[in-house]
Amino acid sequence: MKIITGNSNKNLSLKISKYLKNRLVRSSIRKFSDGEIYVEINENIRGNSIFVIQSVSSPANDNLMELLLCIDALKRSSAKNITAVIPYFGYARQDRKVVPRTSISAKLVSNLITKAGADRVVTIDLHAGQIQGFFDIPVDNLFATPIFARHVRKKIKNKNLICVAPDVGGTERARALGKFLHAGLAIIDKRRPAPGKSEVMNVIGNVKGKTCIIVDDIIDSGGTIVNAANALTDRGAKEVHVYVTHGVLSGKAVQKIKNSKIKRLVITDTIDNSDRVKSVKNIEILTISQLVGEAIKRISNSTSVSDLFR
Ligand code: R5P
């Protein structure tokens, strides 16, 4: 078994490589002067099972193209099988036609990955579990929930906890964390009046005097989370802590979080934000490298991945 990295999150790939005690395959991924991407595998990988690690984070188009070209280069180098390890699966939010005459990017990207030559996909907290069905190859969707639960137990001593879904789509995720923490559930009724804008209509559940743990898959502009934190505080919540797997953090999101009522935002390193949030006191990054490393090991040894979450 061998692992190789794209350029999107080399820090994470190095941590995974350290966990597996397996060095990264030598490769060069460069750009021609016109912006086209060039991938070269610099060692023999014939007959090997290869895991290629690449997040489809910003710049999403370049990182996606890099992933596709890496898979293509591996296939043409006679790899035995190729697993695309995509810690952050970008383009997943367009997973159905919300209004007529739009594309379904999650399906197109799934087709591209399969067509390029991947035999399996490993990802974390897919925006919607159903996207697994967009592939006709196996997809292992890992969850950050156990990592978040451990962190809550360690850092938040108050026992009066309630897990909060910032929108109806996040209910399952919040319920799963609530199960680990033996905490109740509240749900925010969020509407999007326009793309990129969010409004809180109602909070379902009593949050008065409680320490709220909001859990979500993505924080992008920060609007959803900041509005949710305001709504919870207005309804008497004692503190608001937020756990989000993928820190997309576009535009002024970091500044928004810094100036918000959120006591602590915890994200993972599926996207490399180490430099951007270094000096922000209420943002913390947890690594998912051991989880991904362990999943790779189990896939490679043909043992259970789901046992990681029991
Ligand atoms: C929406 O369904 C997602 O789970 C996130 O809540 C959303 O993508 C966050 O976006 P933003 O931070 O821009 O509100």
Instruction: Return the higher-pLDDT residue of 200 and 242.
Output: 242
* Residue 216 Cβ < 6 Å to ligand 1: yes
What CA–CA distance (Å, rounded) separates 298 from 83? 13
Q: In a mutational test of the pocket of ligand 1, which residue from 96, 219, 257 has the highest number of ligand atoms less than 8 Å from its CB?
A: 219
What CA–CA distance (Å, rounded) separates 156 from 151? 8
pLDDT at 197 exceeding the cut of 90: no
User: Which residue is listed with tokens 């997040």?
Assistant: 55
pLDDT in tens, 227-270: 999 999 999 999 999 999 999 999 999 999 999 999 999 999 99
Q: How confident is the model at residue 192 (pLDDT cuts 50, 70, 90)?
A: confident
Q: How confident is the model at residue 281 (pLDDT cuts 50, 70, 90)?
A: very high
pLDDT at 196 exceeding the cut of 80: no
Sign of the CA dihedral 26, 92, 250, 215? Answer: negative
pLDDT for 200 equals 83
Q: What is the largest CA-CA distance in the chain?
A: 61
Whose Cα sits closest to atom 2 in ligand 1? 169
Helix (H, G, I), strand (E, B) or coil at 140: strand
Q: In a mutational test of the pocket of ligand 1, which residue from 57, 167, 173, 220 has the highest number of ligand atoms less than 8 Å from its CB?
A: 220
pLDDT for 39 equals 98
Q: In a mutational test of the pocket of ligand 1, which residue from 91, 191, 216 has the highest number of ligand atoms less than 8 Å from its CB?
A: 216
Whose Cα sits closest to atom 1 in ligand 1? 218
* Residue 220 Cβ < 6 Å to ligand 1: yes
What CA–CA distance (Å, rounded) separates 121 from 92? 14
Q: How confident is the model at residue 30 (pLDDT cuts 50, 70, 90)?
A: very high
CATH top-level class of 2-143+290-309: alpha beta
Q: What are phi and psi of 259, to 5 degrees?
A: -95, 10
Instruction: Report domain extents, the chain.
Output: 2-143+290-309, 145-287
Is 190 noted as a catalytic residue in this protein? Answer: yes
Catalytic residue among 159, 190, 238, 297: 190
pLDDT at 195 exceeding the cut of 90: no
pLDDT for 278 equals 87
- One-letter amino acid at 124 equals I
Q: Tell me, in angstroms, the distance from the centre of ligand 1 to residue 197's CA.
A: 10
Mean pLDDT across the chain: 96
What CA–CA distance (Å, rounded) separates 64 from 58? 10
What CA–CA distance (Å, rounded) separates 125 from 55? 13
Do 2-143+290-309 and 145-287 share a fold?
yes
**Helices 171-181 and 145-155: crossing angle, nearest 10°?**
50
What CA–CA distance (Å, rounded) separates 199 from 278? 29
- pTM over 0.95? The answer is yes
* Residue 219 Cβ < 6 Å to ligand 1: yes
What CA–CA distance (Å, rounded) separates 162 from 159? 9
Q: How confident is the model at residue 287 (pLDDT cuts 50, 70, 90)?
A: very high
pLDDT for 201 equals 85
CATH number of 145-287: 3.40.50.2020
> Which residues fall within 8 angstroms of residue 249, CB to CB, at 6 or more apart?
219, 220, 222, 267, 271, 273, 276, 277
What CA–CA distance (Å, rounded) separates 162 from 156? 12
The mean per-residue pLDDT over the stretch 285-289 comes to: 98
> Which residues fall within 8 angstroms of residue 115, CB to CB, at 6 or more apart?
none
pLDDT for 310 equals 86
pLDDT in tens, 62-110: 999 999 999 999 999 999 999 999 999 999 999 999 899 999 999 999 9
pLDDT for 288 equals 98
pLDDT in tens, 120-174: 999 999 999 999 999 999 999 999 999 999 999 999 988 899 999 999 999 999 9
pLDDT for 175 equals 97
* Residue 222 Cβ < 6 Å to ligand 1: yes
Question: In a 10 Å sphere around its CB, with 0-12 CB exposed, 13-18 middle and 19+ buried, how is residue 76 labelled?
Answer: exposed
